[in-house]
Structure 1
Amino acid sequence: MLFDKPSIRILHVVGGMNRGGIETWLMHVLRNIDRDRFQMDFLVHTTEPCAYDEEVRALGSRIIPCLDPFQPRLYDHNFQRLVREYGPYDIVHSHVHNFSGYVLRLAKQAGVPIRIAHSHNDTSSLETKAGLSRRLYIALTKWWIARYKTIGLAASRLAAVSLFGSGWARDPRCQILYCGVDLAPFRDGVDRFSIRSKLGIPADAFVIGHVGRFEEQKNHLFLLEIAASIAQKQPNLRLLLVGDGSLRPQIQQKAIEMGLDKYVIFAGLRSDVPRLMLGAMDTFVLPSLYEGLGLVLIEAQAAGLPCVFSDVVPEEADVIKPLVQRLSLSQSPSTWAETILAAPDTTSGFNQTDALASVENSPFNIPIGLKKLAEVYEANFPATSR
């Protein structure tokens, strides 16, 4: 007689289920995974409503607030209580970079057998500038990760080095897992005139697009300097900024001070990023100070957009070589401006249909990445199954 496989219970640890790269990938996973086989809950560090909360619950998962991450004893107490209350869990899958060390230590104490540290970012440049207390914190949490993880996943080779050290490839617990993108929305036709009209963008405007949190990592101030340089040569410029974050008021004020307010559109958090890429943007620009991979670049390439981005972005993001150009952040805003203005001409022979097909055949198509993630979960499950 055949019996159904037992479900695997997974607790993902994130700051909050807002529209960031990690969270959007987790939603792609939740929507597409076999939810009878894999039961996923989300432990978050906030009680504030987040963009994906309602959909998470509608798909049968739970949002579980675990507060006081900056007070270790309180967080320890909360974590243990919540794992007892909502568990037992077979897997704790932590996405909070260095803090994952503490999370996995607590998961071990709670008796969770499979403990995953997932590195989505390359923060090595920040760590070199850290003060003494921060360096001690990083050293301790990385030691905990090395000790308590049973699996280490990374979005790129640079992200792996950042969290697991330069010898990560020799650690049998560690591997690269490319986070996938749901490409279905890029197959839909769009009304370019209608999309631009609703955003207040002239039909013939040259639109630079950017999608990202308004935080220091995304380098919005430099993006404004680039826009100012472009505006001198292309008065029909529009800079479309999609996202939100703590620095948004500062960037809005800076745009006014620079006389760019008529050029810059603050679109806020959007659920239709593929539609905006297909219908509103002419070029995609990402001058980040650091990235683990930059999934928005994969989306931009699926939309067939020329992409200009900083050379700190991992090379794995170059899915379609003819569409991508890398520049150093040491280059002047005017050099960036010249490259961006020339980008549509240099990529004019590459259409969106071909671009989408290339991304569909890459490791960044969600079914491919999801299959590998499921294999990671299942390969480690039998020995611990209830």
Structure 2
Amino acid sequence: MTILKQKPKQKIKVLHVVGQMGNRGGLESWIMQMLRHIDRDRFQIDLMVHVTDDFPFFDAELDSLGVKIVRCLYPQKPWLFATNFKRALQEHGSYDIIHSHLHQFSGYLLRLAHQQKIRHRIVQTHSDTSPLDRQAPWYRQIYFGLMRYWLNRYTTLGIGVSRKALNALLGNENWQSDPRWQVLYCGIDLELFRQPIERLSVRSEFGIPIDAFVIGHVGRFVPLKNHELMLKILVKVLEKEPNTYLLFVGDGLIREAIATKAIEMGIASNVIFAGSQDQVPRIMQGAMDVLMLPSSFEGLPLVGLEAQAAGLPVILSDVVTEEVDEIKTLIQRINLSEPIAIWVDAILNSRQIKQQHTQSDCLTVLEKSPFNITQNVKSLQDLYLKLMAIPK
């Protein structure tokens, strides 16, 4: 009797377009978590980037996960970019799905993908840029209008990490009546918060006394994160609690300027610049007592969710998307126009809030939420499969 071998199912090829992977920012971190958890027997995920640089934080792991890096240069030169895009697809083969994370520029990218007969075209927006967009000059407004026209014309599925992020991408709330658009939260890996932590060991790595009160911040050094405001808050906290430290985790263009400002303000010995770190959950659990996030705008700050997974109170500006408030008793929102004294009181009061929560209880809440990376990736896979099931 002849036994017929079942032909293996062909993998669904998905090209994620991310610009670059040189940082440990929120988008890059989520991309890596998604790649670690997606079903690689069913999906082949590759990354398109716009730079020639290597990615020292992720290169080895990307290779081990079987992810190809597709380089497509010069997005600032649209006609040249279009040629490079066509050439990249010819070199690497076509894809079943293209999944763009380029915010407004996704409109042009999805137009090119349509021209190259990529049938399923996804845009995912990660940031609420509306405060900046409203202040943009007239020529940028024309650009926004053109990109939104192309997004509405060429998108087959649109995803936002929050409602505000979608509003910013499309310029209004009309997407809520269009079935192509939906909110899909990004998730975090909760298993990273279940590892045993030696608090003394973690703090000693950064020169932090075991009995110190530590205000933490995780994020790029860019103006929208309001690092200078955090320094001003620290000055006033130190007047009431001298054994306080401000721990910055991250890197960026204005890091040196903020370090210089800390020296000028006479608080440099209480400010720690930890740089970019690959063990944020460990640092949150071992070194921090509260997370401060006074951003001018955000999409869905994953560090806010990670802080809740670590059992930390979170003090944030009230412009940050409310979807991040998963454990509401850990969250305090403050308007950026409020006096610094309000921030100081909230930070000092967070010590009592932290004592009222166990980390295991916080993890239980997040385990059942859409912010669990396992559930998040399952939802993403379901969206891909639903698209592929649409008859041609």
Structure-1 residue corresponding to 2:8: 4
1:56 maps to what in 2?
Answer: 62
CA distance in 2, matches of 1:216, 1:94: 25
* Partner of residue 131, structure 2: 125
Q: Report the secondary structure of 1:346's partner residue.
A: helix
Partners of 2:311 and 2:354 within 8 A in 1: no
1:159, 1:292 within 8 Å by CA — same for their partners in 2? yes
- Distance, in Å, in 1 between the alignment partners of 2:70 and 2:246 is 37
Does structure 1 residue 32 correspond to structure 2 residue 37?
A: yes
Q: Structure 1, residues 159-212: CA drift from partner, whole Å, max 9, x if none?
A: 121113311111110111111101111011100001000111111111011111
- 3-state SS, counterpart of residue 182 of structure 2: strand
Distance 1:232 1:66 in 2: 52
State the aligned residue count.
Answer: 385
Query: Is the CA contact (8 Å cut-off) linking 1:113 and 1:384 kept in structure 2?
Result: no
| Contact 2:107 2:150 (8 Å CA) reproduced | yes
Amino acid at match of 1:287: P
1:155 paired residue number? 161
Superposition pairs of residues 214-229 of structure 1, within 5 angstroms: 214-229=221-236
Residue 12 of structure 2 is aligned to residue 41 of structure 1: no
Which of 116, 123, 132 aligns to 2:122? It is: 116
Partner residue, 2:27: 22
Pick from 293, 296, 308 the counterpart of residue 286 of structure 1: 293
Partner residue, 1:104: 110
- Establish whether residue 170 from structure 1 lines up as the match of residue 177 from structure 2: yes
Runs in 1 of length 4+ with deviation above 6 angstroms? none
**Deviation digits for residues 301-333 of structure 1, max 9, x if unmatched?**
000001100111111111101111000111122
Give the SS at the match of 1:14.
strand
Distance apart, 1:346 and its partner CA: 3.0
- Tell me if the contact between 1:244 and 1:269 (Cα under 8 Å) persists in the aligned partners: yes
Question: Does structure 2 conserve the Cα–Cα contact (< 8 Å) formed by 1:53 and 1:63?
Answer: no
Give the C-alpha shift of residue 9 in structure 1. 0.6
Give TM-score, length-normalised by structure 1: 0.97
In structure 1, give the amino acid aligned to 2:37.
N
1:245-288 CA-to-partner distances (Å, cap 9, x unmatched) read 11112111111111121111111111100000010000001001
* Structure 1 unaligned residues grouped into runs of 5+: none
Matched, 1:181 2:178: no
1:344 maps to what in 2?
351
Identity among equivalent positions (%) equals 49
1:231 match = 238
Paired residue secondary structure (2:355) = coil
CA distance in 1, matches of 2:361, 2:380: 27
Residue in 1 aligned with 2:207? 200
Pick one of 151, 176, 183 that aligns with 1:145. Answer: 151
Letter in 1 for 2:40: R
Structure 1 vs Structure 2 CA RMSD: 1.4
**TM-score, length-normalised on structure 2?**
0.95
Q: Helix, strand or coil: the match of 1:207?
A: strand
User: d(CA) in 2 for partners of 1:261 and 1:63?
Assistant: 41
Of 241, 258, 273 in structure 2, the residue corresponding to residue 251 of structure 1 is 258
SS in 1 for 2:176: helix
Q: 5+ unaligned residues in a row in structure 2: which ranges? A: none
| 1:233-254 deviation line (CA, Å, top 9, x unaligned) | 2211111111111111211111
CA shift in 2, pair 1:270/1:30, >3 Å: same
1:303 aligns with 2:307: no
State how far apart, in whole Å, the 2-side matches of 1:331 and 1:53 are.
Answer: 43
1:39 and 1:276 map into 2 onto residues whose CA distance is: 33
How many Å apart are 1:91 and its aligned residue? 0.9
Of 72, 78, 82, 2:78 maps to 72
- Alpha-carbon offset, residue 54 of structure 1: 2.3
Q: Alignment partner of 1:368: what SS? A: helix
2:88 alignment partner AA: L
Name the CA distance, whole Å, in 1 between partners of 2:224 and 2:60. 28
Distance 1:238 1:306 in 2: 16
Given the alignment, which residue of 314, 332, 337 partners 1:330?
337
Which amino acid in the other structure matches residue 346 of structure 1? I
Secondary structure of 1:380 counterpart: helix
Deviation at 1:383, TM superposition (A): 4.1
TM superposition shift of 1:8: 0.8
User: Residue in 1 aligned with 2:99?
Assistant: 93
> Aligned pair 1:362/2:362, yes or no?
no
Q: Which amino acid aligns with 1:94?
A: S
Distance 1:253 1:65 in 2: 37
